[in-house]
Amino acid sequence: MSHAAVQGEGKLHYVTQYDHRKQQPITEVIIDALATVSGTEPLELPPLYEAIDPDALELIVREPNTAPTRSCFVGFTLGAWGIIVTGSGEIQIYEQ
């Protein structure tokens, strides 16, 4: 995990909200967001599983959380980008 992804340092380029009601895996939402930000086709990006466990990522946004606001988050890097995913489903993409 990079310092930039964990702390949200660097230039914020993109923020989107994951909606679990759409039944789309969060991994697809992240790849689509990275493709948009980087101007790259999704299949040309490095595999997400090399940066983070996709199943663990799904648990962060799908599993019930007893906290009134889902305050957990995970940060990781993929290529030149830092990504933060919060328990509420917000996805932030930073240029490192």
pLDDT on residue 57: 87
Answer whether residue 26 shows pLDDT above 70: yes
Between these two residues, 3 and 50, which has the higher pLDDT value?
50
pTM as predicted: 0.80
CB distance 7 to 80 below 8 Å = no
pLDDT on residue 38: 92
**pLDDT tens for residues 71-83?**
778 899 998 899 9
In whole angstroms, give the CA distance from residue 81 to residue 5.
8
pLDDT on residue 64: 52
pLDDT on residue 63: 60
pLDDT on residue 1: 42
Average pLDDT on 60-70 reads: 60
Average pLDDT on 49-78 reads: 78
CB distance 59 to 68 below 8 Å = no
